[in-house]
Amino acid sequence: MRRAAITSSVISGLLLILGLVDYLTNYNFANNQGTIFGNPNVVVNEGVTLLIAGGFLVLVSALMWVLARRKDQGDQRQS
């Protein structure tokens, strides 16, 4: 469980960094912009999409860290 938490934390950090770079530089590879949640009025670039995905993954990795910590504390109490 701890390895999965570390892996998801690293991946979420990379997604957030890439999303921030894409958003701040306004880099559009092949003019690749799309709608978010199917709403044609909200058009975002790839950077915003990466920031949203990274944010969700941060929440998931935080939950995994909490669960891994609880599991470790439960194992220590049994010894």
Cβ of 48: how many Cβ atoms within 10 Å? 17
User: What is the residue extent of each domain of the chain?
Assistant: 2-78
Distance, CA of 56 to chain centre: 5
The string of pLDDT tens digits covering residues 19-71 is: 998 888 876 666 666 677 777 777 777 888 889 999 999 999 999 999 988 87
Residue 63: per-residue pLDDT? 94
Global model pTM greater than 0.85: no
Q: What b-and-e string marks burial along 4-13, b requiring 16 or more CB atoms within 10 Å of the CB?
A: ebeebbeebe
